[in-house]
Amino acid sequence: MSNKLLFTFHALLSLVFPLLPFLNQKILPITTRIITLYALIFFSFFYFRNQIKPYKPADVITAFRLLIAVFILYITPKNIIPFFVIFLLIVFAEALDGMDGKIARKTGTTQFGAIWDMETDAFFILILSYISVFYLNYPWWILGFGMIRYLFYFIFYSLKPENAGFPKSLSKFSKTICVSTVLILALFWIIPIKPGKFLGFINLLFLTASFLWEGNFYLKLRSQTKNL
């Protein structure tokens, strides 16, 4: 199975799983367990299938971030850890995201490392948005934080030319919005829902803008490639 087919399958499941509890709230516990197990299986498969030894320190740190996300998803229904502790865990995971980027630039970046980091970011946000809706009582549209990336995969990513990079301005804007998204989803654990919804709505607008900018970039790049 090619990586493109693998990620198409992953994007489809990432859109379907979070919607299942809307069909019947009684299946929320089993859906949460399925997502937890799926995250461990898919990302382990992708990591060991594509990673070339020796393992890069930055990629190992990224894997640890993913484990934090899965742990939060696993522990949330049990309600045995104070919300403030989970907030600190999310902030710590986001700090590790900055750390693995710096280490990667020092030890040498790889195509696998870039994809691994990007997919971990996307799934981390999906997990946090899923928890926010079904366990923190936020409105359904908060799922947009996690699902928008996978929706845009089907809309725009098929247009992405092979090995296409991003302009620095787009890359910086997208990364900034990604960080702000995680931090706002972290704040949902410690602030009232009303200001949380306001912050979430504003950030979702910026997140949508970043993906529209990215999609427009792909369309222009594809058009230029066809004209060559």
Q: Quick one: which of 210, 196, 205, 84 has its CA closest to 139?
A: 196
**pLDDT of amino acid 161:** 58
**What is the number of other CB atoms lying within 10 angstroms of the CB of residue 66?**
22
pLDDT digits (tens, 9 = 90+) for 94-125: 998 888 777 877 776 777 888 888 899 999 99
Could you check whether the bond before residue 54 is cis, i.e. omega within 30 degrees of 0? yes
Please say whether the beta carbons of 14 and 123 come within 8 A: yes
- The CA R_g of the chain, rounded to the nearest whole Å, is 18
| Residue reference for tokens 């200001």 | 195
Give the separation between CA 139 and CA 23, rounded to whole angstroms. Answer: 15
Higher pLDDT, 8 or 52: 8
Section 142-155 average pLDDT: 91
What is the pTM assigned to this prediction?
A: 0.92
> How confident is the prediction for the chain on average, in pLDDT?
88
Return the structure tokens found at 82.
């104070």
pLDDT digits (tens, 9 = 90+) for 62-91: 899 999 999 999 999 989 999 999 999 999
**pLDDT of amino acid 56:** 79
30 pLDDT higher than 80? yes
Please say whether the beta carbons of 172 and 37 come within 8 A: no
Give Cβ neighbours of residue 91 (< 8 Å, ≥ 6 apart).
183, 186
> Of 149-153, 155-159, 183-187, which range is least confident?
155-159
**pLDDT of amino acid 219:** 80
**pLDDT of amino acid 5:** 84
132 pLDDT higher than 60? yes
Q: Which amino acid is at 43?
A: F
Q: Which domains are seen in the chain, by residue range? A: 3-227 (1.20.120)
| Residue reference for tokens 């900018």 | 213
Q: Which amino acid is at 210?
A: S
Give Cβ neighbours of residue 82 (< 8 Å, ≥ 6 apart).
none
